[in-house]
Structure 1
Amino acid sequence: MFDITKIVRPNILALQPYSSARDEFTGSAGIFLDANENPFGALNRYPDPLQKELKQRIAEIKSVSPENIFLGNGSDEAIDLCYRIFCEPGIDKALTFTPTYGMYQVSAAINNVTLVNLPLTCDFQVDFNRLSKVLEDDTVKLLFICSPNNPTGNTLKGVETIIKNFKGIVVVDEAYADFSGTSLVATLHNYPNLIVLQTLSKAWGLATVRIGMAFASTPITALFNKVKPPYNISMLNYTAALKALGNTEQYGQQVKLLVAERNKMAGALSRLPMVTKVYPSKANFLLVEVTNADAVYQKLAAQGIIIRNRNKVVANCLRISIGTPDENRILLNALQQITV
């Protein structure tokens, strides 16, 4: 049996969380004189610290219980909280597979936690022989898996095998799952050590709103709520998210369009002379190998077209987000004029 108390830092288990004014009251009220707010204005009240209405809407869409949802200031807040809750600074370690999302490394450094970077294979999959040796280290408490992976775009195989065999916490970052059509959220009841991260920034088109979602067992979401700042989601962002989540038809249409554009762009890019490989993608971007990534990037930037140069992460590779059909046509036209 998985015992979460053996993974959580002792000081977090003993922590008495800050109790906000809204935490201490349930029900409805018309006069609020509890939080030292200015009584005048339209934005004068503190937001719901547990985001109950928004979690209920997300629960309906994702077919989970609201108690299994934590909402953060972007997925980055949830990533940071994972280190703060489960890893003792200077002692415990975390693990991820590279190349991958850079914030795992940044948050590890901020929290003084060693992050073990295990390289993926040449086809960007987990090397299970090397993984088994790393997991013999009992100080590895946390494992990050990005799938579909950033910047490679592919889904990783064998994720559930890792979850079943790892004694610590497995965080599966599904920021791009809307475009792959696969998710582990439905398996939460099978894995008490699983945290699934998703976001409203990508498929839902709310990057400016900065709301990330963590799906996990109730003991884990309770720990997140215990450690987070009391009002980590602003009411402006909260309201914008509720409005967007009320329009699932538009969300579905945009995802369908972006997937179609992704597939069309993969074919068009592969026919360009400078392109040596277009990697298969289940995300809303493509990793493209070219003959000279630095030169292509600079020539596009000079025309006001900004892509991501990943040459230092994957040799001679560019990561290209899928834009509108018009933006994609402009990019292709520009690339056709470039010689390197």
Structure 2
Amino acid sequence: MRRSADIDALQHALCAALGSRAPVCTLARLGQDTGALAALDPAVLDRPTLVHGGAPYGPSSPAPAPHALNALLRRAETLHAPQVLVPHVRRTDDTGPLRAAGFVPLATAPECVVRLTGEVDDVLRARVGPARLRDLRRRHHAVSRDLTWERIRLSRLDAKPWARDAFVELHRRRAEHHGGGHNPYTADALDALASGVLADRTEMFVRRRGNAVVQAGLVTVAHNGRGLYHLTQAVDHDDPAAGRNLYVASLYRLYLDARHSGLRWVHLGRGDAERKRRLGADLFVPLDHWLRAPGLGPAPNREAEPALSRFAAPPVTAVPVPGPARFRHRPRFDTVDLSGNTNPFLEPESQYPHLDTAELARTYLAAVSKVPGHNDLTGLSADHLLFSSGAVDGVMLLLAALASPGERVCVTPPTFELYAHFARVLRLPVVEVPLRGDDLSRLDSERILAADPRVTLLCDPNNPVGTRLDRDQVRTLVTRTRGVVVIDEAYVEFSGSPSYAGLVAEHDNLIVLRTLSKAWGLAAARCGVALAQPGLVDALRRVQVPFGFTDASQHAVRDRLTNSRRALASMRLIRAERDRMAAALAHHPAVDRVFPSEANFLLVRLRKHERVMEHLRGAGIVVADTARLLPATCRISVGDRRANNALLEALSFAL
């Protein structure tokens, strides 16, 4: 909760729970995040501490501005509190004043948010997969058959004393169940909430079996009216329904209610990120407690932002990441955002796409690691990844970010023609060093090194040939060149040889480009991926249009990656069809040669090129004519069996 009036109301409830006019208690009694406080000296846990905000209630509190912080310290002195705790501060807030005032950060669990970007079941299927969704639905339906569901506005709680009493009793028993720790939901605390500014936005949800209350909790609508905070719930563990995981079933019901009410997110509070992912959370905001206490050492320095890559072009070093992308990790879901100049009456389509794609990057790395040859990605994180609107867009970004006019770009024909095209558009001289060997799989490494290119673009597996480059030559080139090596792996999922993505963590001059258009079947979603060290990713982000990766594309990508079984199976089918087609074409009288392929296409040299191509066009079959790159050749994409058989039949009548 980011509004000061809401935080004041929560602090009033905390004082009521503590039975005090001021929020002063020991950290041990407060019972907040024992894991974060476990390393502290026991004396720190037992000293009176002034608590800022409503620690046990609020999802997070903004870092106090300097004037508010000074007032907090003066209040601590007046109350003779030797310690001050500012809990649950987002790391994206300005914490400089806290550090300067002698506060020390203590890492705690992140706050977790489920963003409702569509119908609930569609969202959850894309986040947790169909099996987990079926489990959530099953629990929800089983509980709904046995128990009623009711929501009571807190400002009208006086009319339902049974709900108030049951809520207090269940939370008292929950506190006892957890060792008799602090219970922030006493009768006095609940009454304080019911009489404060949150009363009209807060509801109690209750499940009953007959007249017996089995579960009671609280939710609050955000002050911007766009989402729901899940504050608490307690369950009667003696009831048979408790074994059906009422907590999970009720969250699913809250998602449905929120979506029906036009809300866009549900805040699940703080907790283990992996557990919350299984409940559909897709936004995780890192938090710290900030504590000022006698004997605590100076605040440790956070890891600095990664230095910009030494390969960034001079103009790029002089500009920051464009404004919106610079603040991509700063969540705005629970603020009133009047900064975008969009139409508020035509939402949600009028809103700009999400820029924080860290969770989607984690999903991508997890899904790709299931592809053979990709089990060495454990050293990569979201900081090593940049999404672009297609891998071709990634080529344009890296050329603009890393090369200045006059600096050479090396390509290795036959190769993807847009490499040279974009280089020339950007006034970069292009050096062509053709591939060698009968299968066009060997680099002329010495010529490439002699050209001293700023950027060398390799396509592996090669398009249009389909072969893989000699791996030792590629690694030698990455090690010896003074420039950047870019390996376009658009087709690597179809290869039996490993990806180069795992080497990104070892080399600051290596960029691996990937796409979801080919093996993952998302050409319409326009999603490319650049994998590189964070300093290179930062350089690319400085020239990228901030909102090119749309919410619709992000949703399609998340759905495909989460539910990857079908895509992975299709990759195996394509490889099998490729091998079948290669064998059939190799013995066809119209074909002079089939090049070996580790992609989802075959490069074929024809005996009577013009005649065969004309016949295929007449048969309604389109293949790529690559004769301008390699004489008498065409590139044939691997289709389904029916399409492939149609091609073979048409070829039989071509001569």
Regarding TM over 0.5, the answer is: yes
Could you tell me which runs of 5 or more consecutive residues in structure 1 were left unpaired when the two chains were aligned: none
Matched, 1:37 2:342: yes
Matched, 1:135 2:457: no
CA distance in 2, matches of 1:50, 1:141: 31
Q: Is the Cα contact below 8 Å between 2:627 and 2:633 reproduced in 1? A: yes
Structure 1 residues 93-135: Cα deviation after superposition (integer angstroms, max 9, x where no partner): 010111000110111111010111111114203343xx32442
Matched, 1:107 2:422: yes
Shift of 1:5: 5.2
Aligned to 1:278: 594
- Return the match for 1:217 from 533, 536, 544: 533
Matched, 1:146 2:459: yes
Could you tell me which runs of 5 or more consecutive residues in structure 2 were left unpaired when the two chains were aligned: 1-306, 369-376
CA distance in 1, matches of 2:423, 2:580: 38
Q: Structure 1 residues 133, 323: CA separation in 2 closer, same or farther (over 3 Å shift)?
A: closer
The range that moved more, 238-247 or 100-109, is 238-247
CA distance in 2, matches of 1:316, 1:280: 17
Aligned pair count? 333
CA distance in 2, matches of 1:226, 1:310: 36
Shift of 1:16: 2.7
CA distance in 2, matches of 1:69, 1:321: 29
CA RMSD between the two structures:
1.8
- Return the match for 1:46 from 341, 352, 364: 352
Structure 1 residues 55-106: Cα deviation after superposition (integer angstroms, max 9, x where no partner): 22113224430110011111111111121112111x1001011100011011
Shift of 1:37: 1.7
Structure 1 residues 283-337: Cα deviation after superposition (integer angstroms, max 9, x where no partner): 0000011112222122111221100111111111110000011111111111112
Shift of 1:200: 0.2
Give SS of 2:387's match. Answer: strand
Q: Structure 1 residues 293, 21: CA separation in 2 closer, same or farther (over 3 Å shift)?
A: closer
Q: Structure 1 residues 265, 113: CA separation in 2 closer, same or farther (over 3 Å shift)?
A: same
Aligned to 1:204: 520
Aligned to 2:639: 323
CA distance in 2, matches of 1:137, 1:334: 45
Aligned to 1:248: 564
Shift of 1:32: 2.9
Shift of 1:136: 2.9
Q: Is the Cα contact below 8 Å between 1:97 and 1:145 reproduced in 2? A: yes
Q: Percent identity?
A: 30
Matched, 1:68 2:384: yes
Aligned to 1:23: 327
CA distance in 2, matches of 1:210, 1:300: 30
Q: Is the Cα contact below 8 Å between 2:325 and 2:355 reproduced in 1? A: no
Aligned to 2:69: none
Q: Normalised by the size of structure 1, how large is the TM-score?
A: 0.93
Q: Is the Cα contact below 8 Å between 2:395 and 2:419 reproduced in 1? A: yes
Q: Is the Cα contact below 8 Å between 2:490 and 2:514 reproduced in 1? A: yes
The range that moved more, 210-219 or 178-187, is 178-187
Give SS of 2:541's match. Answer: helix
- Give the counterpart letter for 1:155 in structure 2: R
Q: Is the Cα contact below 8 Å between 1:97 and 1:144 reproduced in 2? A: yes
1:137-176 matches, within 5 Å, as 137-138=451-452, 140-157=453-470, 158-176=473-491
Structure 1 residues 255-299: Cα deviation after superposition (integer angstroms, max 9, x where no partner): 000000000000111111111111110000000111122221221
1:176-187 matches, within 5 Å, as 176-181=491-496, 182-187=498-503
CA distance in 1, matches of 2:414, 2:338: 51
Q: Structure 1 residues 14, 202: CA separation in 2 closer, same or farther (over 3 Å shift)?
A: same
- Give the counterpart letter for 1:150 in structure 2: N
Q: Structure 1 residues 216, 280: CA separation in 2 closer, same or farther (over 3 Å shift)?
A: same
- Give the counterpart letter for 1:10 in structure 2: P
- Return the match for 1:78 from 385, 394, 404: 394
CA distance in 1, matches of 2:518, 2:451: 35
The range that moved more, 60-69 or 73-82, is 60-69
Q: Structure 1 residues 179, 218: CA separation in 2 closer, same or farther (over 3 Å shift)?
A: same
CA distance in 2, matches of 1:281, 1:201: 19
Aligned to 2:577: 261
Q: Is the Cα contact below 8 Å between 1:153 and 1:282 reproduced in 2? A: yes
Q: Is the Cα contact below 8 Å between 1:71 and 1:214 reproduced in 2? A: yes
Q: Show structure 1 runs of 4+ deviating over 6 A.
A: none
Q: Normalised by the size of structure 2, how large is the TM-score?
A: 0.49
CA distance in 2, matches of 1:318, 1:104: 20
Q: Is the Cα contact below 8 Å between 2:391 and 2:527 reproduced in 1? A: yes
CA distance in 1, matches of 2:605, 2:308: 43
Shift of 1:15: 1.1
Give SS of 2:454's match. Answer: strand
Structure 1 residues 124-169: Cα deviation after superposition (integer angstroms, max 9, x where no partner): 03343xx32442344x110011010000100000211111111110
Q: Structure 1 residues 96, 311: CA separation in 2 closer, same or farther (over 3 Å shift)?
A: same
Give SS of 1:143's match. Answer: strand
Q: Is the Cα contact below 8 Å between 1:69 and 1:221 reproduced in 2? A: yes
Structure 1 residues 184-207: Cα deviation after superposition (integer angstroms, max 9, x where no partner): 111112211100011000000011
Q: Structure 1 residues 28, 82: CA separation in 2 closer, same or farther (over 3 Å shift)?
A: same
- Return the match for 1:7 from 311, 316, 341: 311
